[in-house]
Structure 1
């Protein structure tokens, strides 16, 4: 580097000398130094790359590897640098001032507009009780749950600062949080946030409505939110129909329950009517008064209600876009996007608003604001949908008529459609539920194609690393296993695939691996060698492993668990003539026979996982 600086300085002096005296000798001297600078730059870049690739091939450099993949993916997208935007009439704005005004106008309207609702006339008794002081172990747990490497808020204090300070930070934060709890007033700095528009990867890139606003808030405030959330979870009991952000529940539970329910009705040759309800801007439209009411109705101590109210008091934000930051504006409606506490607060609201209309799982299932309503008759599901609409809209939550969809499983001729306030609800043959495509005929062919597409999308996101010739095959295989393969496996533990469908997944996987290793079919290299070089096992084997792992998890759960109830559910009716449709348990029985396991083995978790394990080469 020192040599480069010396040569670069000599080049600048030679350029000045040539500008003052345009002789051939001065020109030759400048050109020669110019070439030397280029050679030194090339050497420095090569040295830096060599050091980078050497570091990436070590355990310490693995985090840098994924950071490099994300950076190369961002560099390849133009969305990051959108400097023009359209106004509400569709005219393109080009000046920095007008673009900033438009972003401010859009988000200020979005975050301060409340849907029409009935004002509550009934009150609710507040729970006045003494609350304990914040303990150090609560702060430790909250800090442990905070992820590192996240964008900081306006105070520029990352959570890593508190983690590095150890016990000193725990003691300081415990004292700070106790002062906040006692006074019910948090620092004014925590009220500020920065709103970053994130493109949804669909629609017009110049339309503000195709961006999701994520708030960058103070990390210290997020630690405080984690402490409050942990205490609220001990007090509030959320209904069993809510699967979003609940302990021991995930999207897989809801997907599995719905798929097995559809399978049972298909085998019994009975119709099952499902309505997938969509709420308009659910998080941004929650009325604050409804939030306080629902918290009190759930038995939350008034002290915590006032603490949460203070979190939303006088909150202000700015929009950070490609052309700079907008002016500040107030946020008076909805929950904070990007907040650690918001998901649980939303669950409390949905729990109270749906108390009188929800049915037991699987007839009603919620994942945050994603709601599915099922019934044996079209008339009943239509009636239930109307009851849900009334219960939600009278409290300020609006059902989207255009995005709510209806699907009939095992449909007979002339089953009709569902109406909502006189309008016909869109009828579909397939629906993407929590990221997994379910079909009205109970098959999973469309889902396999979606998994292949998701795998290619993940592969493109890290192609900057996977297609780099200087990165070893071992590292490429690891990136593939941790980024691409999970996208292809998502939701497949809930279905039983045919051989043809497994083959479809494996063909896509081998194409990705060959692209990554720079190998074509013309090179006549066998698939086994490709997998061995990248240390990647057969995808079909991994699908079997994830399916058996999930089945073992279901078997070990209590008898009231939704997955167990669905598997044990029996419906009157006979399967149709001809070749029987493939069922989930058909695939499980084949898998267990292949690995030499039985249903009883699933009770021992460690033994079960050892039996079904299928490692990579």
Structure 2
């Protein structure tokens, strides 16, 4: 009876969703109005600086094919990426000849390269019947996408230096986590130094879809010196057509860039930077910082594609910058979404004026969802962790039937959790120094997953330790530790990275000299390096799914600092020094493994046995297992004290010929075990470690 009721409810909700779907005719009308050029901009004459650009090469086509993903939806002609990759060198040579002809004369570009099928994806916000709540994704021709990707790579190579360090979107070795970490440290530094800053999060309405075509052409003519690149991109934007999938409804794009294309993100970054140069950079003063070299620099804004965050000292300055930006955007047919634009005051002191756009007030918030992570004005991680836990619980509900299934193996379920739950739970947490209670909240989510897999409803049925023993899910601490090390390593790949620069800077007009959070974050990073630095191979950056990571000193020069090199290589011909015995032993295995006569190898003292070992410990084991009848193998163990007189105030060494006296029995036991046992086996004198020879004596493992 209950199953019938639930089935009826599901069918009713499914029919309700289907009836609330937007009509295709409404989408066509919406796209026609959206991509229609409302304003005709004046054609500005920009002086061209043309340079000779060579033709496309075979390596560029191979690299472009390699970067294209398999199992993607093709365009209207049905040609997939796998078909082109299986075509071999003959097909690639034919494509090279065709693309070079188009490179020389873009007017010969086929029309079906410009046309695309359009899929409307619901944003999970607002009513399903409202066309504004849908995002248009263009399914382009595969060969046209390959050509556009090659042209885009050349465009990025020539114009990447034009973009500032504050732009994190769609750029190599930069991600949302770098922007989140930078903003978090600015907030924490403001709180620690008792300085006030105002963060204004600007939201543009349909930014990618409303960029004027003439502004794109003028920006490329101003920045890119290659006439071939500009001509090819202009042809790609020459009123491309789109038709709704599974319908006969079409529309023409007179403005904007196609979402899903190769050239769209790179073009948007250049045009958006050109807009900021005309507006924000001229009026905004920004916040002045002082780095570790006592040099001052200014940060005015952060942006990830169209997600703009203005950084000011006062609300009046933010109001002035917003109004200037709004006037310029209105003149080119774009606008700011006032309802979605928010501002936040860090370390607020007294009453301050509201931020306004025209006569409309902008809402002030205490927390804001920025690039997938929640940031608040107090600098605490509670809001970010709460948001991650809520998202993870929603994801658990979606895959709960799979986790309960008895047909799937435990390994499959664990891989599913590792790929779909843990990334959501740990997103953005590498920018935070987590506390003990934070770890408890995160581990509680994994314990819930363990109970679902085991089919346990009562929490008291198994303890937490028993749950972890039965289902060994990945360790969250190791995951976040990997992400933090990876974040810092990738940040050093790009010179003058904004995240690294902000970590080493402080506010110029500070009320005190405290910078507690930054020191704690760097201290946490150093602790991660010490914990994981000696356990991993050197190619750890290519294996992020493994727990073991090898962090060498050159990867983190500003964090590791000076290491105490107190262990010398045991090889007589090598003078290298190491900080730990593990590093020295690794060096012996890698660099001196073929030298059988090396002093680092210990040979069996018996003439009948020719075995050699790298450490004294393995030689001792060999003597005790293979030659137990030998007197050399019958050394006194640590806990045997029969020969030591406990009545004497100063105990003497029982070994013949040794007059060593020590005040305690434990000291004599350690002395006999270290000095006489190893010297009897190897024939070499082993001196115990002292303060004077601690830097040159190698303690056995």
What TM-score do the two structures reach when normalised by structure 1?
A: 0.77
Matching residue of 2:27: 103
C-alpha contact 1:277 1:404 (8 A) present in aligned 2: yes
Most deviating of 392-401 and 241-250: 392-401
How many Å separate the matches in 2 of 1:591 and 1:347?
32
How many angstroms apart in 2 are the aligned matches of 1:493 and 1:292? 40
> Which residue of structure 2 lines up, in the alignment, with residue 52 of structure 1?
none
Aligned to 1:350: 272
1:217 aligns with 2:140: yes
1:613 and 1:129 map into 2 onto residues whose CA distance is: 47
The whole-number CA distance in structure 1 between the counterparts of 2:528 and 2:167 is 36
Is contact 1:101-1:326 (8 Å) kept? no
Q: Which residue of 2 aligns with 1:4?
A: none
Answering whether residue 473 of structure 2 is matched by residue 536 of structure 1, we say: yes
CA RMSD across the alignment: 3.3
Partner of 1:32: none
CA distance in 1, matches of 2:321, 2:381: 28
User: In the alignment, which of 53, 58, 72 is matched to residue 131 of structure 1?
Assistant: 53
| Distance (Å, rounded) in 1 between the aligned partners of 2:353 and 2:515 | 25
Q: What SS does the corresponding residue of 2:244 show, helix, strand or coil?
A: strand
Structure 1 window deviating more from structure 2 (75-84 vs 226-235): it is 75-84
- 1:554-573 equivalences under 5 Å are 554=491, 556=492, 560-571=496-507, 573=510
The partner residue of 2:376 within 427, 439, 442 is: 439
* Structure ranking higher on relative contact order (CA contacts 8 Å, 6+ apart): 1
Structure 2 CA distance for partners of 1:217 and 1:591, relative to 1, 3 Å: closer
1:515 alignment counterpart: 452
CA contact (8 A) 1:232 1:300 kept: no
What are the ranges of 5 or more consecutive residues in structure 1 without an aligned counterpart? 1-74, 87-98
- Rounded to whole Å, the distance in 1 between the matches of 2:14 and 2:540 is 50
User: Does 2:349 correspond to 1:415?
Assistant: no
Q: CA deviation at 1:546?
A: 2.6
1:269 aligns with 2:206: no
Compared CA separation, residues 432 and 175, structure 1 to 2 (3 A): same
Aligned to 1:284, what secondary structure does the other structure show? Answer: coil
**SS at structure 2 position matched to 1:317:** strand
Distance in 2 of aligned mates of 1:241 and 1:229: 21
Secondary structure in 2 aligned to 1:355? helix
Question: Which residue in the other structure is 1:476 paired with?
Answer: 413
Residue 530 of structure 1 deviates from its aligned partner by 3.6
**In 1, Cα distance between the equivalents of 2:178 and 2:72?**
29
| Whole-Å separation in 2 of the counterparts to 1:606 and 1:452 | 32
Question: Contact conserved, 1:275 with 1:372, CA < 8 A, in 2?
Answer: yes
Are 1:186 and 2:186 counterparts? Answer: no
Report Cα offsets for 1:337-360 as digits up to 9, x if no partner. Answer: 211110001011112121243367
Equivalent pairs, count: 519
Residues 29-40 of structure 1: pairs in structure 2 closer than 5 A: none
Q: Distance in 1 between matches of 2:12 and 2:166?
A: 42
- Alignment partner, residue 517 of structure 2: 583
Q: TM-score, normalised by structure 2?
A: 0.68
Q: Tell me the secondary structure at the aligned position of residue 283 of structure 1.
A: coil
> Residue 299 in 1 paired to residue 299 in 2?
no
Contact 2:155 2:224 in 1 (8 A): no
Alpha-carbon shift at residue 540 of structure 1 (Å)? 3.7
* Aligned-partner SS, 2:242: strand
- Report the Cα distance in structure 1 between the residues aligned to 2:135 and 2:264, rounded to whole angstroms: 16
Residues 242-257 of structure 1 mapped to structure 2, 5 A cutoff: 242-257=167-182
Encode CA deviations 1:420-475: one digit per residue, 9 max, x unaligned: 11221111111111111110111121110111122123334444533322111111
Partner of 1:154 in structure 2?
A: 76
Please say if residues 200 and 212 of structure 1, whose CA atoms lie closer than 8 Å, have aligned partners that are also in contact.
yes
Q: Distance in 1 between matches of 2:24 and 2:343?
A: 40
1:496 alignment partner, one of 426, 433, 441:
433
Partner of 2:420, secondary structure, is helix
Find the counterpart in structure 1 of residue 64 from structure 2.
Answer: 142
Where structure 2 has 5 or more consecutive residues not aligned to the other structure, the ranges are 1-10, 287-296, 550-701
CA–CA distance in structure 2, aligned partners of residues 592 and 462 of structure 1 = 37
Note if contact 1:473-1:517 (Cα within 8 Å) is conserved in structure 2: no
Partners of 1:76 and 1:312 in 2: CA distance: 44
Cα separation, 1, equivalents of 2:541 and 2:336: 44
SS of the counterpart of 1:470?
coil
Q: What's the counterpart of residue 328 of structure 1?
A: 250
Q: 1:261-293: CA deviations, max 9, x gaps?
A: 110110111211011111110011011111111
C-alpha distance in structure 2 between counterparts of 1:107 and 1:551, whole Å: 42
Q: Is the 8 A contact 1:506 1:538 kept in 2?
A: no
More helix as a share of residues: 1
Identify which range, 159-168 or 121-130, moves more after superposition.
Answer: 121-130
Closer, same or farther: CA 588–202 of 1 in aligned 2, 3 Å: same
Aligned to 2:240: 315
Give the Å deviation of 1:537: 2.8
Larger radius of gyration: 2
